[in-house]
Structure 1
Amino acid sequence: MKKPIPIYGKGENVRDWCFVEDSCAAIDNVMHNGKAGEIYNAGGNCEVKNIELAKSILKIMGKSERHIKFVKDRPGHDYRYALDNSKIKRELKWRPSVTIEAGLEMIIRWYKDNEWWWKPLKERLSAESRGFWER
């Protein structure tokens, strides 16, 4: 790894993770089976501290935890993001199916296998961003 993984504060902030394919399945389910005008939260029921997520990513990549860099937390940073998905589970019988471990492994594998696709985009975006900030 060329850059460390920045972790705000002590990494105790909690996020609710849902794999992208599960999110897409939830959207499809709502489109076909949901009631017009209703709101359906499609959370993953997978609350994880940021520090634990970073450690999991490093473990999958075969890297040491020394790649973690703790940085000053943002003022007003939310401690927890989580959704109550009981309504979509109850009314539309939707449930997330991919565990965070399996999802992380699939995402990391995809990025490793498809560097030819995303790296030129990242380089172009970086160049455009530099130009924007230099104006």
Structure 2
Amino acid sequence: MSRILKLLSAAPLANTGSVARDHLANERTFLSWTRTGLGFVALGVALAKLDALEALSPALAHNHDHGDLKLQSAALVGSGTGCLGYGTLRYFSSLRGLKRGLFRPNIVGVALVAVTSGAVAGGGVWMVVRTEKEV
């Protein structure tokens, strides 16, 4: 057990200049990526459960394509999983860079979240508009 704890522990760094502040900011950013990813996953799971609930209730089942909800659910869960993975990779990449005194701006991650959020919002609007036309 002590070997595992030794592998997981980090070497202490001298707190000169903004070292501690930079590493704490990196940890907060990782937690933000985690929160965003878990939010996408939770929304995808909730959407899938809503689809299952609609299938059980005849009053709720109205000319509704369940394939769209499953696709949206899968996209949300996939996006959330991607956020979790990317956030973890970004954290360790930034950690290595900070130890060497370097920092690389996060252009790719921000662009991916913006595109994913736009696609999810667009898909939601499309589903609502299409459902309204069918009713």
Q: Same fold (TM over 0.5)?
A: no
| Structure possessing the higher relative contact order (Cα contacts under 8 Å, 6 or more residues apart) | 1
Q: Give 1 or 2: higher helix fraction.
A: 2
Q: Give 1 or 2: higher strand fraction.
A: 1
**TM-score normalised per structure 2:** 0.23
- Rg: which structure is higher? 2
